[in-house]
Structure 1
């Protein structure tokens, strides 16, 4: 049995606005094992980034509030009750984060070297000389050539791919146990994406860090992750291993995601099948399944009552009324292996 590095239980996060309460995360639960890569996928606005930033306690409060739930890190630390001072000791040292847009996340007025050594000096209590040496080592590790010279440069002097490597270097500078990567390849071209994916895979193996990968790119998921959470409207609708999600998906939303991406085994002129409709308004979430209004298989019970998670295997579950023993059988609209690499 693997040890848990992170256990999130029934997490509920809302934003208080002038228009009312936005229920951004509505009862999310999952576990992350040591050395594991867990992907969280879903449409924009489904709660992926809010969940990740709640783990780091990076969302300003107010307007955000953790209404309910537990985030237990490394078996003993309850993140939801940590003080700001305690979180400052955890961020960077125990939990690192790679943000979505390095150009807005890096400080344009500070050299790259200063931004990397800042965390090392704070958390490791070492001299400036030792911090600089570690910074050079970590830049070399992430594939930056001439690291000594690059330490003196500013973010605008780097390309997009190199800035993302610097973000990874900052996140890894203090050897955290958990690394959260929030869509780390979104703004990069496909060649650089492949390089960043290979880099993160190699670093995960070398440092034995656990990784939470936030993405909407199922190709990245297939390449990097061992387990996957599929989120919709602030909830986890399906979770399982990568093979289970790609070869035996159970939720109609997962089917829709897999059908809406290109496949190498389909003719070049094949049309992608989009998911019709839009996600629900999280000011007033529907009483039943949030996906019911967009689901071609929706039944009366789907509209009235929110389904519970039902186990497909020991590691695979989905929240769908189609898994109920009394539900009608439907033909899955995708073949086994919804994505072909």
Structure 2
């Protein structure tokens, strides 16, 4: 797809706490191309939201800090990891937008939605008058599927439903035509019908504007609807990366297998218990030696508990950090119900 809009290399983010250092993100690398949707998936606490907020430089410093050697190169020219807050303010909102998972706590309750959207427009374009900014605000609300936009811009967040507030958040993030949009669990607080509408809206906007999107989610149904590429995170690291088809039909990491097996299927027996991944993620105050997933992995070998695996290449776009992919590893059958042939 051409030159990447975002290149993240060896990103390491820690939090200095009273009890010690929490290593929340541990050497994450990925790229996002123009017009591409990259999904970052994993269970709560895996580091996906910290990664997203670090790209936007929204995590508080202190207690958090980006470690030396980390690189977040945006649009081939902005080294986000080294930018000052004033430099970041010129990029954030204008070239990079973010949709948060809870619009009620992200929107200002004391300002009308029109005032909030127009404020973002005028902040990055001083030549736009107040009236023009409000007109653009109404156009954006119409773009995100809100009827009676002229009335809606006069309303406060508490006067809108959860789905409407999320649409306002999307309009706010699109106000300055950003090149990159980060959506952090954009459908979590919404009911199923509204979730589907928001996903359709994001997909439609992405196709029309060719905006690149990083989608942070634990919902693999949302991933299947939107993503081109997927990275799977566990304990602050990327354990598998690939195209959508690679991850859904040829996953090569036991953690990815566990995530896929935990998704309810329409063709399964209603009396079957839902699969789960036993155990809990490791304590990132003191990350374990070897593979962080070894303690929960039914296929763990001696080497898994001693040496952290590098990424083994499966194909040009697909790799997994698991010793089972080593040429000398024993052959392990993928669990029934996932992989090729399991989806019809």
Alignment match, 2:117: 116
**5+ long unaligned stretches in structure 1:** none
Per-residue CA distance 1:37-87 (angstroms, 9 max, x = gap): 000000000000000000000011100010131000001110011111110
Alignment of 1:122-201 (within 5 A): 122-125=123-126, 126-201=128-203
Cα drift, residue 268 of structure 1: 2.2
**5+ long unaligned stretches in structure 2:** none
Alignment match, 2:82: 81
3-state SS of 2:73 partner: strand
The count of corresponding residues between Structure 1 and Structure 2 is: 341
**1:336 correspondence with 2:339:** yes
Alignment match, 1:21: 21
1:28 & 1:338 partners in 2: Cα distance? 31
Give the RMSD, CA atoms, in angstroms: 1.1
Per-residue CA distance 1:160-201 (angstroms, 9 max, x = gap): 000000000000011000000000000111100000000000
Alignment match, 1:41: 41
1:119 & 1:34 partners in 2: Cα distance? 23
> Contact 1:265 / 1:340 at 8 angstroms: preserved in 2?
no
> Contact 1:259 / 1:338 at 8 angstroms: preserved in 2?
no
**1:92 correspondence with 2:84:** no
Moved over 3 A (4+): 337-341
Per-residue CA distance 1:91-140 (angstroms, 9 max, x = gap): 10000000010011111111000110011001022110110111111000
3-state SS of 1:181 partner: strand
Alignment match, 1:30: 30
Cα drift, residue 338 of structure 1: 8.7
> Contact 1:171 / 1:179 at 8 angstroms: preserved in 2?
yes
Question: TM-score normalised to the size of structure 2?
Answer: 0.97
In structure 2, relative to structure 1, the CA distance for the partners of 1:104 and 1:330 (3 Å cut) is: same
1:336 & 1:30 partners in 2: Cα distance? 24
3-state SS of 1:9 partner: strand
> Contact 1:288 / 1:306 at 8 angstroms: preserved in 2?
yes
Alignment match, 1:55: 55
Cα drift, residue 269 of structure 1: 2.2
Alignment match, 1:202: 204
> Contact 1:263 / 1:339 at 8 angstroms: preserved in 2?
no
Cα drift, residue 340 of structure 1: 4.6
Alignment match, 2:261: 259
Cα drift, residue 279 of structure 1: 0.1
Cα drift, residue 331 of structure 1: 1.2
Cα drift, residue 332 of structure 1: 1.0
> Contact 1:98 / 1:167 at 8 angstroms: preserved in 2?
yes
In structure 2, relative to structure 1, the CA distance for the partners of 1:39 and 1:339 (3 Å cut) is: farther
Cα drift, residue 336 of structure 1: 2.1
Cα drift, residue 337 of structure 1: 4.7
> Contact 1:23 / 1:283 at 8 angstroms: preserved in 2?
yes
2:324 & 2:317 partners in 1: Cα distance? 19
1:337 & 1:217 partners in 2: Cα distance? 20
**1:297 correspondence with 2:303:** no
> Contact 1:40 / 1:230 at 8 angstroms: preserved in 2?
yes
Name the stretch that deviates more: 265-274 or 237-246.
Answer: 265-274
3-state SS of 2:67 partner: strand
2:342 & 2:286 partners in 1: Cα distance? 34
